[in-house]
Amino acid sequence: MASDRVVALLGVGVVPSDTPVLRADDLGVLRGDGCFETMHVRDGAPWLLDEHLARMARSAARLGVALPPAAALADLAAQACAAWPADREGAVRLVCTRGPEDGGGPVTVFATVAPVSEVTVRARRAGIAVRTATLGYPADVRAAAPWLLGGAKTLSYAVNMASQRWAASVGADDVLWVSTDGYVLEAPTSTVVWREGATLYTVPAERTGILAGLTARWLLDHAGSLGFRAAERMVTPAELAAADGVWFLSSVRGVAPVRSLDGEATRTDPAETDTLRRFLGYP
């Protein structure tokens, strides 16, 4: 099957993209047991590489997975990106599974680079229609229950994918997960950011067990350059719908304006989205 993807294995280098690389007893597939990161490839290199490697180390620590050193992972990502056209944007993934179930084998580590889909590129300008849906958790339950793996970016994304399929089935582009006690959490593959007056907000990650979004973090850390303050707070869907602008931030899509929330138009301004997108360096 034709594939537009680069695949590189730790200690091996780039291999044909249809090469089988995981054994049948790899815990990455049997249990979704491992962690990953996805980064935006621009000018031939992953953006925010150090931040993503640091988060991957935190995920691995929560899982008790023996992640290789950051330098080895950075080399692997570089090998994969070197085989990708420097003038083409892409998405590089780093994956580390717990390895084979038999014999306590070493972790399985690989990198892939893939194109950014047309749907993703379109969403940056056209925006997305978002539906809220429960994640089933009270907002604070994961902070006190580390076995629920809050904040870890694991390979167990079946619920994330099912939530997005559910959104598509009701005519939406994406989902915003809400806690059982009525607070906005995150999207299956994005972090929500909103503006009220001169402040850009996001949801506190520690308290809620959501993934600490790195693209959102970068934006809030540099908000001053755009004349904004930055803060975190708990928010309800109703408050979000009344905000001066709402965006989903993620590594590959960058910034996607939330055009509507549960069918109601938001006040997100396309010109402001353009400003944010350029500031974040997305085409």
| Cα-based angle 105, 107, 113 (whole degrees, multiple of 5) | 145
Q: CB-based contacts of 181: which residues, under 8 Å, 6+ apart?
A: 138, 139
Stretch that binds its own copies, among 48-56, 106-114, 220-228, 261-269 (CB under 8 A): 106-114
Q: Is 158 in the site for its own copies (CB under 8 A)?
A: yes
Q: How far is the CB of 35 from its own copies (least distance, A)?
A: 9
Burial class (CB in 10 A: 0-12, 13-18, 19+), 179: buried
Q: How far is the CB of 270 from its own copies (least distance, A)?
A: 30
Which residue, among 38, 46, 43, 96, has the nearest Cα to 66 in the 3D structure?
96
Stretch that binds its own copies, among 13-21, 43-51, 222-230, 236-244 (CB under 8 A): 13-21
Binding mask 186-215 toward its own copies (x if CB under 8 A, else -) reads ------------------------------
- The amino acid present at 60, given as its one-letter code, is A
Q: CB-based contacts of 280: which residues, under 8 Å, 6+ apart?
A: 215, 218, 219, 254, 255
Q: Is 23 in the site for its own copies (CB under 8 A)?
A: yes
Stretch that binds its own copies, among 68-76, 158-166, 194-202, 215-223 (CB under 8 A): 158-166
Structure tokens at 103: 């014999």
Q: Is 118 in the site for its own copies (CB under 8 A)?
A: no
> Between residues 86 and 159, which has the closer beta carbon with respect to its own copies?
159
DSSP assignments along 162-207, one per residue: HHHHHHHHTT-SEEEEE-TTS-B--BTTBEEEEEETTEEEE--HHH
Stretch that binds its own copies, among 163-171, 223-231, 256-264, 271-279 (CB under 8 A): 163-171
Among 14, 29, 121, 126, binds its own copies (CB under 8 A): 29
Among 52, 55, 124, 142, binds its own copies (CB under 8 A): 142
Among 81, 129, 172, 175, binds its own copies (CB under 8 A): 175
Q: Is 89 in the site for its own copies (CB under 8 A)?
A: no
At residue 108, φ and ψ (nearest 5 deg) are -105, 125
Beta-sheet strands, E only, within 69-121: 90-97, 108-115
Q: How far is the CB of 213 from its own copies (least distance, A)?
A: 18
- CA 179, chain centre distance (Å): 19
Measured between alpha carbons, how far is 171 from 174 in angstroms, rounded to an integer? 9
Q: How far is the CB of 69 from its own copies (least distance, A)?
A: 21
Q: Is 42 in the site for its own copies (CB under 8 A)?
A: no
Residue ranges that bind its own copies, judged by CB under 8 A: 1-5, 7, 17-34, 36, 62-64, 93, 95, 97, 100-103, 105, 110, 112, 114, 133-138, 141-142, 145-149, 152, 154-163, 165-166, 175, 180
